[in-house]
């Protein structure tokens, strides 16, 4: 065997040898950042400061509402209401209909408009709200008779659900009268109308969305009376209940909530029991946030007064997901006060992290034209504009035309996320 051949052999097969060198290289870089890490006690002290600030902010300043801004006359909002009061509201509506019919005037619903032209972003509240425009939906008009009939039917169905105090899905509702509704989008739309009309949230109508989210970490709560300890939910975590009104008695010794965009990162954090090292509650909706997860997050934030840190992909989509948690979706702006969680901090992965943490070029992905457009659109959004730090990051993203997923951090080792990246972020209070 020639000397050259032998040397090559000793180093192992070429692929394995390249892999080895590579892992040594990234290993040494990771080692460098790892050395910057202070003892956990010091990191925790920095986290506790953030926690204290959130606690005192929550107790000293009452959250602003529409009435504080003297906007309650010009804007419309719904609130959570108990079963009895929603039933009463429906009874009143039906009685008013009956009286109107008896007076020979037929009947008509006064339905708040949910169109874009009736929506308003209120910077003081940092969310979208609904103005007070509404339109009449008379039964005795060819153009509205169908919608008026559907409205009456949905009112009667919701009333039946409330009387039994059970929960149903939008799909269940649709199936009770396919002939009338024809298409689920019609019953869904009227359901939102009914929420607005009665001034209560959709959850108060006991119509729920299906659940996608999971939670794990330092949280104890009751789900329909069952006591759930989220430190004892293994790696799979606890599925977030679809019906928030059956959730109660939240207790926690966490210092913060870690909101994670993706399932894979959630699994890493759960398996490494990250919450034992840094007391926190870890929650994910596995992508686009569903209503149940948004309600659950808001509930945790308001009751436990915990700061919320977000870990999302470094792309426009990650920020869009943050915006839905923070400002709500346009479709449900009438319920923005109950669905949104203000003041979420963007922990990572941020465009500036890519260089700071030396994410290898091959783990970054080029942005498509569509991505770049989405990024530029976000730069026009009020909720981005009011945060200088976010504008800078987003500018950098659009200019470098590079994006990266949370998983890109795996290139330094599978546990780099939990062992180096997140602890360092917390230590350096590196959130925006």
Any contact of residue 383 with its own copies (CB under 8 A)? Answer: no
Q: Is 64 in the site for its own copies (CB under 8 A)?
A: no
User: What value, to the nearest 5°, has the Cα angle with vertex 79 and ends 75 and 82?
Assistant: 150
Q: Which of 37, 267, 379, 432 touches its own copies by CB under 8 A?
A: 267
Answer yes or no: are the C-beta atoms of 290 and 212 closer than 8 Å. yes
Active site includes 159? no
Six-digit token pair at 302?
């308001």
| 89: contact with its own copies by CB under 8 A | no
Candidates 37, 83, 96, 239; binder of its own copies (CB under 8 A) is: 239
Output 246 or 320, the one with its CB closest to its own copies: 246
- 379 belongs to the binding site for its own copies (CB under 8 A): no
Which residue from 411, 420, 423, 425 is in contact with its own copies, where contact means CB under 8 A? Answer: 411
By CB under 8 A, name the one of 83, 189, 363, 396 that touches its own copies: 363
| 3 vs 380 by CB, closer to its own copies | 3
Does a cis peptide bond (omega within 30 degrees of 0) precede residue 349? Answer: yes
Catalytic choice (121, 159, 175, 325)? 175
Our finding on whether 142 is near its own copies (CB under 8 A) is no
CA distances from residue 419 to 40, 256, 275, 347, 422 in whole angstroms, order as listed:
11, 18, 12, 16, 7
Site string for its own copies, 161-190 (x = CB under 8 A): x--x-xxxx-xxxxxxxxx-----------
366 binds its own copies (CB under 8 A): no
Among 322, 299, 340, 301, CA closest to 121: 340
Q: C-alpha distances in angstroms, 30 versus 278, 358, 376, 427?
A: 20, 9, 33, 16
Is 401 near its own copies (CB under 8 A)? no
Count Cα neighbours of 212 within 13 Å in the Cβ-side half-sphere.
13
Smallest separation (angstroms) from its own copies to the CB of 412: 9
| Look-up of token digits 């600030």 | 53
- Is residue 89 a contact partner of residue 200, using CB atoms and an 8 Å limit? yes
From the list 39, 362, 370, 380, which residue makes contact with its own copies (rule: CB under 8 A)?
362
Number of chain positions touching its own copies (CB under 8 A): 85
Say how many residues make up the chain: 432
Q: Choose, by CB under 8 A, the member of 136, 210, 276, 428 that binds its own copies.
A: 210
Q: Which residues are part of the catalytic machinery?
A: 175
């Amino acid at each position: 065997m020639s000397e050259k051949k032998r040397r090559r052999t000793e180093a192992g097969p070429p692929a394995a040898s390249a892999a080895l060198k590579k892992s040594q290289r990234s290993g040494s870089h990771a080692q460098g950042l790892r050395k910057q890490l202070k003892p956990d006690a010091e990191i925790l002290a920095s986290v506790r400061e953030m926690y204290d600030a959130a606690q005192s902010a929550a107790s000293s300043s009452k959250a602003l509402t529409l009435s504080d801004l003297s906007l309650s006359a010009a804007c419309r909002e719904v609130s959570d209401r108990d079963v009895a009061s929603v039933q009463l509201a429906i009874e009143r509506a039906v009685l008013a209909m009956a009286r109107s019919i008896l007076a020979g005037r037929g009947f008509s619903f006064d339905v708040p408009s949910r169109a874009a032209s009736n929506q308003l972003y209120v910077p003081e509240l940092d969310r979208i709200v609904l103005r007070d425009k509404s339109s009449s939906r008379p039964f005795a008009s060819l153009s509205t008779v169908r919608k008026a009939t559907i409205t009456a039917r949905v009112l009667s169905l919701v009333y039946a659900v409330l009387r039994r105090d059970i929960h149903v899905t939008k799909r269940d509702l649709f199936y009770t009268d396919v002939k009338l509704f024809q298409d689920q989008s019609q019953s869904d739309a009227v359901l939102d109308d009914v929420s607005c009309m009665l001034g209560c949230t959709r959850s108060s109508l006991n119509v729920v969305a299906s659940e996608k989210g999971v939670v794990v970490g330092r949280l104890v709560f009751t789900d329909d009376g069952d006591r759930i300890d989220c430190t004892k939910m293994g790696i799979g975590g606890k599925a977030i209940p679809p019906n928030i009104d059956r959730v109660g008695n939240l207790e926690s010794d966490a210092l913060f909530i870690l909101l994670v965009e993706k399932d894979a990162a959630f699994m890493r954090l759960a398996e490494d029991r990250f919450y034992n090292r840094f007391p926190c509650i870890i929650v994910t909706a596995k992508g686009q946030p569903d209503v149940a997860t948004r309600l659950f997050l808001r509930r945790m934030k308001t009751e436990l007064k915990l700061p919320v840190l977000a870990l999302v992909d470094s792309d426009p989509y990650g920020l869009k997901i943050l915006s839905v948690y923070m400002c709500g979706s346009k479709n449900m702006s009438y319920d923005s006060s109950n669905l949104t969680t203000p003041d979420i901090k963007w922990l990572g992965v941020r465009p500036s992290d890519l260089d700071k943490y030396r994410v290898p070029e091959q783990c970054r992905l080029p942005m498509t034209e569509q991505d770049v457009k989405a990024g530029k659109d976000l730069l026009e959004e009020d909720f981005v504009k009011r945060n200088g730090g976010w504008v800078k990051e987003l500018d950098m993203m659009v200019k470098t035309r590079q994006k990266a997923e949370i998983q890109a951090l795996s290139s330094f080792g599978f546990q780099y996320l939990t062992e180096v990246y997140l602890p360092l972020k917390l230590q350096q209070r590196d959130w925006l």
